[in-house]
Amino acid sequence: MTLVDYEALATAAQNARNLAYAPYSRFQVGAAVLTASGKIFCGGNIENAAYPLTMCAERVAIYSAYAAGEREILALAVVTATDDVASPCGACRQVMIELAPQCEVLLLNLQGDERRTSPHELLPHSFGPSQLDEANR
C-alpha cells in the first residue's frame, strides 16, 4: 500500500506552480497527484491568448497521470499564492469525480495554510459514470 507523503506532494505542487504558464491572469496554480503506484504527476495551469482554451493545473496533473497509464489517484495537492487556500473550479471538480473520485484533496497556499477535502465534498450530488450505467440497463 502506498503511504501518502503529504510534504513531498505539497513540494511537487509548489514546484509545478513555478512552471505554470499564466501570462494573462498572472495567477499561477500548481497541482500534484500521487498514484497508487507511488508516482507523482504534476502540472501548472496553462493559459492561451484564446482564453477559454486555458487548462487548470489540477487537470494538467490528473490528465498527465492518466496519460501515463495510471488509473488510481490517492491524493491531489493544489497550491496557490492566495490569502486563503484555493477553491478548484467546477470543471476540475467534475474531472476529479470522474478520474479521482476517492482521492484526498489538499488545498494549500504558500503560507502553509491547508484544507483537506474530497471530490464528493467539493461536488455533491454530482453527475457521474454510475448514472450512465443506470440509464443503459
Note the residues at the interface with ligand THU (CB under 6 A): 22, 25, 27, 29, 45, 47, 54, 56-58, 86, 88-89, 92
- Report the side by side order of strands in the sheet with 73-80: 40-44, 29-35, 73-80, 104-109, 114-117
Pick the closer one to ligand THU by CB: 24 or 36: 24
The catalytic position among 47, 58, 70, 104 is 58
Q: Where are the beta strands (DSSP E) in the chain?
A: 29-35, 40-44, 73-80, 104-109, 114-117
- The CA–CA distances, whole Å, from 109 to 82, 84, 118, 124 equal 6, 7, 17, 24
CB of 37 to ligand THU, least distance (A): 25
Q: Is 58 a catalytic residue?
A: yes
- Is the Cβ of residue 60 or residue 136 nearer to ligand THU in the bound state? 60
Q: In the complex, what is the shortest distance from the CB of residue 3 to ligand THU, in angstroms, rounded to a whole number? A: 26
- Name the residues annotated as catalytic: 58
